[in-house]
Amino acid sequence: MTTPYTLVDWVLGDGAGWLARFIGAILVWAVPITGFVSFVGLLSIWLERKISAHIQCRLGPMEVGPHGALQTVADGVKLLAKEDIIPADADRILFAFAPMLAFAGTIVGFAVVPFGPGLIVADLDIGLFYLAAVGSLEAIGVIAAGWASNNKWSLFGSVRAATQVVSYEIPMGLAFVTIAALAGTLSMVGIVEQQQGWIANWFLFRNPFTWVAFIIYYIAALAECKRAPFDLPEAESELVSGFHTEYSGMRFAIFFLAEYAQMYVVSAVAAVLFLGGWYTGIAPLDAAIGGGTAGMVVGAGVIVTKSFLLVCVQMWLRWTLPRIRLDQMMYLCLKVLMPFGMLTLVGSTVWEHFLPSPAIVKDGGGWTGNTVMTGVVVAAIGTVALVAYVRSVIRATPSLRAASNS
Amino acid sequence: MDWSTIMWWVMAAVTVIPAVMIVLSKDIVRLAFWLLASLTGVAGLYILLGADFLGFTQVLVYIGGIMVLILFGIMMTNRDAVLMRRGETSGGAMLTGVVIAAATALALLKVVKDTKWKEAAPVDMPATTARVGESLLTDYVLPFELVSVLLLIVLCGAAYIARRRPEET
């Protein structure tokens, strides 16, 4: 296997030594990505405030900058200037180490998330597997934080985070395997390139089971980001503020940034796996843009837009759904999503065996007709069935029923 | 020194220093986090050897699964009880430990010395995942299936043991 063409090679030329390449990688990738993460954090926090406000018929921040756009910057400055408080009986080293681990555990995910054609830090041969492996590092930071704080609410939050990790990882893995089996590769770039052409080529529409896999992945991703309805480790109304109760100032801000960065990572992965990555879904348009710099710029715009749309859906869900209980979270992940995930994996491979998508058009020809249409219809039926099932679960659970009625 | 040698030394340090700290640490939670660092180093060594799939399996299984479960278990115990104090080990136990450790170290050193190591230049990392998958479903399909069945039995057994029996409720 030849070394894939990367931005570092492009900047330095081929003959650079390892030290130059190392420094080059820091300058070309690590610094801009940290900047991008900060930007994502600022934008997402502002979006979250505005979206939550509008969902609750409020205005949200309006004073600093146009429509409060600079409010987050002002808050960031405030957090920087705050006193750094460590509780007297805390495990000081772990207390300081936990936010770093959480942030680093999130940011390593960016290594395989493409920002556009050719704009990827490392197109690993095992990209998807890498993502599944490093996905739980952030949770270990959260667990460390809760333990080091020496506070019972924090510890409750940590134990909940640990429980959540072992629950959501399985359905998420099954959704990954479904796509890997279809794509025949674990490389993120390889997966995107199979979704070239019309929107029908996106893995979301490939067969009815991938549709279900997308829903499973998205629910599991919500749990990975600790977002409502899975914000159990935080649970403001029960645990003060869960694992970061004792954190203030910049350490708290780093946890916050890690959460928003992770929201972007899982959304970008959803865009790569199911929503065609950097392709617009309109074959002639992609062909007209072509490769090169124009393709890079447009592709980056497309994938970032898709990711941010999914981030907004996460926010929408957070301000719409009530928090579920811990046992309900385990029930949902292990007894609902996991069987559906297995069904999805088997169903998807069987479907591909008997009804292979023949004309998955590389050059942007016609729609694939029957296969795709059948897929869309059956996907609709599958979605209805899943919704009906979840509704029946809600009806059978008194507390959930009460929550959905109020 | 080329980069792979340097990375090898870095990864070896990341593996060995935390391993020593595990033995010396008094606080069982710190110990768990030293274990985390040591396992990460081992994963790094696998990756340096070109076994990327194995390396990330190490991360997925040991760090994502087993470490989380270890921490989960520790947090279920009482905080005071988990602070191990130095000096609780009796002299006899210490002596036995030293003898066993020395014997193991000697045996390992002998193996290292007697093995004829082949020197090989570092090569570009070939993609292993596809080959691993193919071998699992062709040449090694029987062991693979046997292990799957074994894990399934373990899973059923664990669920049976953990199940709440009617008379206990």
* Cβ–Cβ < 8 Å for A330, B162: no
- Assess B129–A contact: CB distance below 8 Å, yes or no: yes
Q: What is the pLDDT of residue A366?
A: 43
Is A60 inside any structural domain?
Answer: no
Closest chain B residue by Cα to residue A130: B56
Angle between helices A208-224 and A338-354 in degrees, nearest 10? 150
CB within 8 Å: A158 and B126: no
Show the domain range for A312: 82-405
CB within 8 Å: B75 and A169: no
- CA dihedral (A261, A263, A266, A268) in degrees, to 10, reads -70
Residues 6+ apart with CB under 8 A from A227: A259, A263, A314, A317, A318
Q: What is the pLDDT of residue A2?
A: 36
Is A401 inside any structural domain?
Answer: yes
Is A147 inside any structural domain?
Answer: yes
* Cβ–Cβ < 8 Å for A85, A348: no
CA distance B31 to chain A (A): 11
- Assess B144–A contact: CB distance below 8 Å, yes or no: no
Of A129, A298, A134, A321, whose CA–CA distance to A227 is shortest?
A321
Cite the DSSP H helix spans in A184-232: 188-193, 208-224
A-interface mutation test, from B9, B28, B33, most A Cβ less than 10 A away: B33
- Assess B155–A contact: CB distance below 8 Å, yes or no: no
Top-tier CATH class for B1-99? mainly alpha
Is A50 inside any structural domain?
Answer: no
Q: pLDDT tens digits, residue range A205-261?
A: 777 788 888 989 999 998 888 887 888 888 777 777 778 888 887 888 888 888 888
Q: What is the pLDDT of residue B104?
A: 94
Q: pLDDT tens digits, residue range B40-68?
A: 899 888 888 878 888 888 888 888 788 88
Please state the domain extents for chain B.
1-99, 126-169
Closest chain A residue by Cα to residue B130: A185
A186 contacts in chain B (CB < 8 Å): 129
Residues 6+ apart with CB under 8 A from A251: A84, A96, A99
Q: How far apart are CA A301 and CA A343, in angstroms?
A: 35
CB within 8 Å: B127 and A1: yes
CA distance B3 to chain A (A): 6
CB within 8 Å: A140 and B36: yes
Is A387 inside any structural domain?
Answer: yes
Of A169, A197, A209, A203, whose CA–CA distance to A183 is shortest?
A203
Whether the predicted pLDDT of B138 surpasses 60: yes
**Helix/strand/coil for A105:** helix
* Cβ–Cβ < 8 Å for A364, A197: yes
Average the pLDDT over each of A103-117, B62-76, B90-104, B139-153 and give the range with the smallest value: B62-76
Residue A52, token pair as written in the block = 């939550």
Residues of chain A with pLDDT under 50: 1-5, 359-366, 370
Is A350 inside any structural domain?
Answer: yes
Whether the predicted pLDDT of B124 surpasses 80: no
What integer is the mean pLDDT of B76-81? Answer: 63
CB atoms within 10 A of CB B167: 5
Residue among B33, B76, B126 whose CB faces A94 most closely? B33
pLDDT, mean over chain B: 81
Closest chain B residue by Cα to residue A2: B124
Q: What are phi and psi of A119, to 5 degrees?
A: -100, 75
The tally of domains found in chain A comes to 1
- When mean pLDDT is compared over A114-118, A141-145, B28-32, B142-146, the highest value belongs to B142-146
Residue among A19, A97, A125 whose CB faces B52 most closely? A125
Is A246 inside any structural domain?
Answer: yes
Q: What is the pLDDT of residue B169?
A: 52
Residue among B68, B69, B75 whose CB faces A147 most closely? B75
